[in-house]
Amino acid sequence: MRELTSAPPQAKHAMSTDRRKHVLVVGAGLGGISAAISLRQAGYRVTVLEKNAHLGGKLNELRAQGFTFDLGPSILTMPHIFERLFTGAGRRMADYISIRPLRPHWRNFFEDGVALNLYPEPERQRAELEKIGEDPHRFARFLDYANRLFDLINFGYFEQGLDTFGEFTRCYGLRRFPQFDLLRTMHDGVARHLREPHVRDMMDFFIKYVGSSAYRAPAFMNCLPAVQFRHDLWYVDGGLYGLARGLACLMAELEISVHLETEVAQLRTEGRRVTGAVTRDGTFHPADIVVSNMEVIPAYRRLLGESDHFFHSLRRFAPACSGLVIDLGLDRTYPQLAHHNFFHSKDQRRHFDHVFRKGLLPDDPTVYVVAASRSDPSVAPPGCDGLKILPHIPPLDEKNPVAPEQYLALKDRVLAKLERMGLQDLRRHIVFEHFWTPHDIERMYYSNRGAIYGVVVDRWKNLGFKAPKHSAKYDNLFFVGGSVNPGGGMPMVVLSGQNAARAITQWDRS
């Protein structure tokens, strides 16, 4: 066990004379960190137990041979949500974390040779649209539609932390439900406004933020472009893991006790209460309140040993997609790349269908490629590119297992696709390679079936709802992260921690 902050030595039964209520946070992903900071600011005594040797959960990094790769998230949006963690403690985020906006937001490459940039500035985006024949007025109307959806969702679902249909009804009233465009899919909402196929594919793939399908997600997910156009797209100098470093400094200043390499093996219960956690070394850590940053289904299965019957009610909270994470250090650069890039499938509907409906490895995926050295030379040696390459793929399925050689074959297809679409001789210039499959993601983070983004957004399964933050079975157990509302993506899991902390203080006073 390694302590990140100074704290009393742990005995086999951790004790304290501090009379403030004690919150135990299981897992130091961004949701757990956000909850810990918010609860500490509310006056609770907080201890965080983390399985891995780093803070941040999926916000992780790899350094090798002069290259720095973001293993997890690589796009920062809505930085004001992170800022709240610092302002709540009387501090400025800028004193801990240096961020800057990126231009273009990203670059889109298509099989027919079209390259299309995405800019938040209307005039720059107008020029991009006109060169491929999309009407800029249609695009502007689509953004108006996206902004209306964002304002609607942000008001209640995001900021008030709504969890249930009843809470939705009380917040919005039934008469406002049609404003959510519930009868359409996300793709339908895009196609209703935009005509040009390349632009449709570009806007459909905003669903990447939640690891779902534009053809199965409800239309209100078209709020995602508004998130980016309104709040910009940002980079953290030195790599996104700088967010975790800055938050770690804040946690230390707030005297939050953080124990790394300390895996929770069991949550101990008495009736409807969780009394604490037992770690792998046999130590029992008592708690008045427990916050699980482990996803809902794995937590109930791994830590609480619930019966198969119990999980029947959780079936609708199916996992979002997983990914094949390919990190390449190259001995050359590819100047045509922007910082963020998408190499689109020739038939994106087929790609979504393979991954999200059939559960198959895609034969021609849309591929996300990060070339962070385009903005930050410190993350690669001079004259070199470090590329993070990520195609979305199905989560693990024990009924339809994927053999290791199938993942390797997909990796080769992806690299061949990138070479075909302009990254000439890519494989000949690899000097360093790192490769993760869904098995590695599950092993590292205990995510549900190796999912990256928590719960899938699917109008036929859950209408976009994730699990509630407050356990229905244990009175003092709460959840944060991508498997609870409002869902996956860095700002959303940070918001889940803030909303859970507010829910805990309200529950604790009742």
**Would you state the pLDDT for residue 165?**
87
In Å, how far are 40, 168, 288, 379 from 237, measured between CA atoms?
28, 39, 39, 9
- Identify the CA nearest to 244 among candidates 446, 82, 451: 82
How far is it, in rounded angstroms, from Cα 148 to Cα 128? 24
In a 13 Å sphere around the CA of 222, the CA atoms on its Cβ side amount to 34
Residue stretches of the chain with pLDDT short of 50: 5-17
Distant-in-sequence, close-in-space partners of 129: CB < 8 Å, separation ≥ 6: 135, 136, 139, 196, 199
Q: Which two tokens mark 195? A: 């005509």
Got the DSSP string for 70-131? ESS---B--HHHHHHHHHTTT--GGGT--EEE-SSSEEEE-TTS-EEEE-SSHHHHHHHHHT
Q: How far is CA 255 from the centre of its chain?
A: 27
**Would you state the pLDDT for residue 510?**
85
Give, for 296, the enclosing helix (H) or strand (E).
helix 296-298
**Would you state the pLDDT for residue 50?**
98
Q: Which two tokens mark 13? A: 């039964």
**Would you state the pLDDT for residue 4?**
55
In Å, how far are 168, 189, 216 from 182, measured between CA atoms?
14, 10, 12
DSSP state of 451: -
Distant-in-sequence, close-in-space partners of 108: CB < 8 Å, separation ≥ 6: 114, 115, 116, 117, 118, 198, 201, 202, 341, 342, 344
How far is it, in rounded angstroms, from Cα 52 to Cα 425? 37
Q: Which two tokens mark 69? A: 């790769």
**Would you state the pLDDT for residue 361?**
98
In Å, how far are 58, 70, 370, 372 from 389, measured between CA atoms?
16, 11, 7, 12
Separation of first and last alpha carbons in the chain: 36
* Rg value, the chain, Cα: 22
How far is it, in rounded angstroms, from Cα 67 to Cα 50? 26
CB atoms within 10 A of CB 95: 11
Burial track 152-186 (b if 16+ CB lie within 10 A, e otherwise): bbbebbbeebbbeeebbeeebeeeeeeebbeebbb
Domains of the chain in start order, with CATH, are: 2-59+72-100+240-315+465-509 (3.50.50.60)
Amino acid in the structure at residue 149 = L
